[in-house]
Amino acid sequence: MQQNLGTRSVAIVVDSAASLPPDAKGLYVVPMRLELGGRTYLDGVDLSPTDFYKMLRRSDRLPTTSAPSPALFRQTFERAGSEASAVLCLTVAANFSTSHESASAAADELRAGGSPTEFLVLDTLSAAGGQGLIAMESLRAALRGDSLGQVAEVARDMVARVSLLAVVDTLYYLWKGGRVPRLAHAGAALLNIKPIFELAGGEVRTRARPRTKRRAMIRLVDIVLERVGGRGVHAAIMHADAPDEAEELRKRVHLELSCRESFVSEFTPVMGAHIGPGLLGIAYWAEEASNHKRQ
């Protein structure tokens, strides 16, 4: 996705693992690849989340995903460089994908070829809504006219602040993908446990194991509230084919937290391929206490 908002100093590029506001403008998104049902799709280009989850529920085989090639990053960098003197690329956590490696290779190739554009590739240590929040704050800095160094400083600050909490509806897809043992999947299904995971600093940890989806939804917000108190919060509400639950979660976030900004976004197919339908999550960052102002 490329939006022409006029010439500026820095253009922001992300891969399609990022969950972005539905009305996001000004970003360049490089699609990841997904194979399902014998076909290869470009994430967000020729396969929508709605169609993907319908196909996933019917399929007896797990999809496979792959990072964008260096060539695809290079093409996007060249387009972005035609409108800006510098390009900042924010990739999904390198622990989960070779996207950062591909983007770095593309930047190195363009530098070696004498491109006048300045390139910087940063690992967000996050994904989905966390990556989206980092991208949106970086974009705001770019649209203010900040330099590449200044925008990168904003991005690094966001990387350090952003956390992502999510409850999965089933461990089936994580088990089939080899990410959890079969015993864990069977036990969670038997006891109706809905594990809450946290992604922060590029690492995934289990934070709670409530029973029932509703209890998990309440616990998600409680965890954030325990950490941020009354500080202003910027939040991305994520879901995988669960729009009604996502809207309920968004309302709870605004009721319980000092929410300064929020958006609801569906997990892109390349993210949903590993988690399955039914996920709910909150990615967030909190303002400094001195900046708090209830709205």
Tokens representing 115 are 């491109």
The pLDDT tens digits for 64-77 are: 899 999 999 999 99
Backbone angles phi, psi at 73, to 5 degrees: -65, -45
At 172 the pLDDT is: 57
- Please tell me the predicted confidence (pLDDT) of residue 100: 98
Q: Would you give the distance in Å from CA 269 to the centre of its chain?
A: 12
- Cα 11–Cα 12–Cα 14 angle in degrees, nearest 5: 150
286: β partners: 233
Contact between 188 and 171 (Cβ < 8 Å): yes
Residues with Cβ < 8 Å from 72, sequence gap 6 or more?
Answer: 30, 31, 102
Q: What is the spatial distance between Cα 70 and Cα 196, in angstroms, rounded to a whole number?
A: 34
Q: What is the pLDDT of residue 5?
A: 41
- What is the C-alpha to C-alpha distance for residues 28 and 44, in angstroms, rounded to an integer? 12
Per-residue confidence (pLDDT) for residue 291, from 0 to 100: 56
pLDDT on residue 188: 41
Q: What residue ranges of the chain have pLDDT lower than 50?
A: 1-6, 175-191, 292-295
Residue spans per domain, the chain: 8-32+67-160, 163-291
Compute the radius of gyration of the chain from its Cα atoms.
Answer: 19
If phi > 0 it is left, if psi is from -120 to 50 it is alpha, else beta; for residue 233 that is beta
Beta pairing partners, 79? none
Provide the 3-class DSSP secondary structure of residue 127: coil
> Tens of pLDDT along 240-266?
999 999 999 999 999 999 999 999 999
CA distance 140 to 130: 16
- Alpha-carbon separation of residue 106 from 90, 119, 226, 295 (angstroms): 13, 10, 42, 43
Per-residue model confidence (pLDDT) at position 230 = 94
Burial class (CB in 10 A: 0-12, 13-18, 19+), 289: exposed
CATH of the domain spanning 8-32+67-160: 3.40.50.10170
pLDDT in tens, 165-210: 999 876 656 544 444 434 343 334 433 558 899 998 988 888 888 8
Token reading at 130: 């966390």
Count Cα atoms within 13 angstroms, Cβ side, for 88: 32
**Measured over all CA atoms, what is the biggest interatomic distance in the chain, rounded to whole angstroms?**
60
DSSP assignment string, 135-147: HHHHHHHHHTT--
Q: What is the CATH number of domain 163-291?
A: 3.30.1180.10
